[in-house]
Amino acid sequence: MNGLSVSELCGLFCCPPCPGRIAAKLAFLPPEPTYAFLPDPDPEPEPEPESGPGGSGSSLRTRGEWKLHLTERAEFQYTQRELDTVEVTLARSSRGNEIGCMYIRCVPKSRFTVLFSHGNAVDLGQMSSFYIGLGTRINCDIFSYDYSGYGVSAGKPSEKDLYADIDAAWHTLRTRYGVSPESIILYGQSIGTVPTVDLASRYECAAVVLHSPLTSGMRVAFPDTKKTYCFDAFPNIEKVSKISSPVLVIHGTEDEVIDFSHGLALFERCPKAVEPLWVEGAGHNDIELYAQYLERLRRFIGHELA
């Protein structure tokens, strides 16, 4: 997230902007796309997963019409074999944008699928290696999407589009892939906690993970903000109490972008919050490098949700 200049800070007090302007200034930095969707020259029928918590029977469906092409900037760390496990598709949001989606079957007969909303300044290409590594280590499949204006997704990023984008991803996961709500874990990282909290406040799911979350846009720009103003953007703090699913909050104590106090405040508001993970010494972008990150996720998914 970007900082605000002195003139912009004064402008917020003298002439409060609309939420969209706060959102654009604080959050949206779509990178140059690191991938493309190419037409699949040989789509083949593919059996659905066997019936189970996340399956939808044994009927056949047509494999995706698209193939994923990664550029060197994606820095993919695996082989063609792992790349072939990645299925991509396009979903249309309620605001008319085609949204790029990625589904990675990381483990056979996975009980849970993680619907992952990634952080700022990255796209699906850059996240693909991380998704494969995460899914195999926590025994979950991974489904993710790019926000409007990111990667192959059409349109321009905005707060309203964030909410429409995750809705499109949720309904694609539910209808195209037949994954039931009780098998979906919503995972949001940084700006990705905004659509995650919004969706989780409206739909029940297996669980929610909030990784380096923010309470609201104003509270990031002005740490002393105590209330939510009508022109604030990303008001997670006002929605998180409506989440009826178990919530795991993860935050680094030395986060230089979104202060640790944001994670604490959201944890205190969650009705079904589980034991949080406060990573001592971690910043905004390095929590995944600490051993307790995977340990806590494995315990949460493998034991506490069981």
Which residues constitute the domain of residue 274? 17-304
In a domain, 6, yes or no: no
User: Which CATH number belongs to the domain containing residue 263 in this structure?
Assistant: 3.40.50.1820
pLDDT of amino acid 207: 98
| Active-site position among 93, 148, 190, 212 | 190
Q: Return the SS3 of 181.
A: helix
The pLDDT tens digits along the chain (306 residues) read: 444 444 444 444 444 445 555 555 556 899 999 999 999 877 665 545 444 444 333 223 345 589 999 999 999 999 999 998 899 999 999 999 999 999 999 999 999 999 999 999 999 999 999 999 999 999 999 999 999 999 999 999 999 999 999 999 999 999 999 999 999 999 999 999 999 999 999 999 999 999 999 999 888 887 877 787 787 889 999 999 999 999 999 999 999 999 999 999 999 999 999 999 999 999 999 999 999 999 999 999 999 998
Q: Is 153 in the active site?
A: no
In a domain, 9, yes or no: no
Q: Is 224 in the active site?
A: no
Partners of 115 in beta bridges: 143, 186
Could you tell me which of 204, 203, 290, 196 has the C-alpha nearest to residue 234?
A: 196
In a domain, 8, yes or no: no
In a domain, 10, yes or no: no
Specify whether the CB–CB gap between 40 and 65 falls below 8 A. yes
Instruction: Provide the token pair at 7.
Output: 């003139």
In a domain, 253, yes or no: yes
Could you give the CA distance from residue 55 to residue 40 in angstroms, rounded to a whole number?
24
pLDDT of amino acid 9: 42
Q: Is 232 in the active site?
A: no
In a domain, 2, yes or no: no
Could you tell me which of 294, 232, 236, 222 has the C-alpha nearest to residue 264?
A: 236
pLDDT of amino acid 11: 42
Specify whether the CB–CB gap between 166 and 94 falls below 8 A. no
Return phi, psi of residue 144, to 5°.
Answer: -140, 175
pLDDT of amino acid 52: 42
What is the number of other CB atoms lying within 10 angstroms of the CB of residue 50?
Answer: 12
Tally the domains of the chain: 1
| Active-site position among 165, 198, 232, 255 | 255
Could you give the CA distance from residue 241 to residue 272 in angstroms, rounded to a whole number?
9
| Active-site position among 118, 211, 262, 284 | 284
Q: Return the SS3 of 46.
A: strand
What is the number of other CB atoms lying within 10 angstroms of the CB of residue 40?
Answer: 16
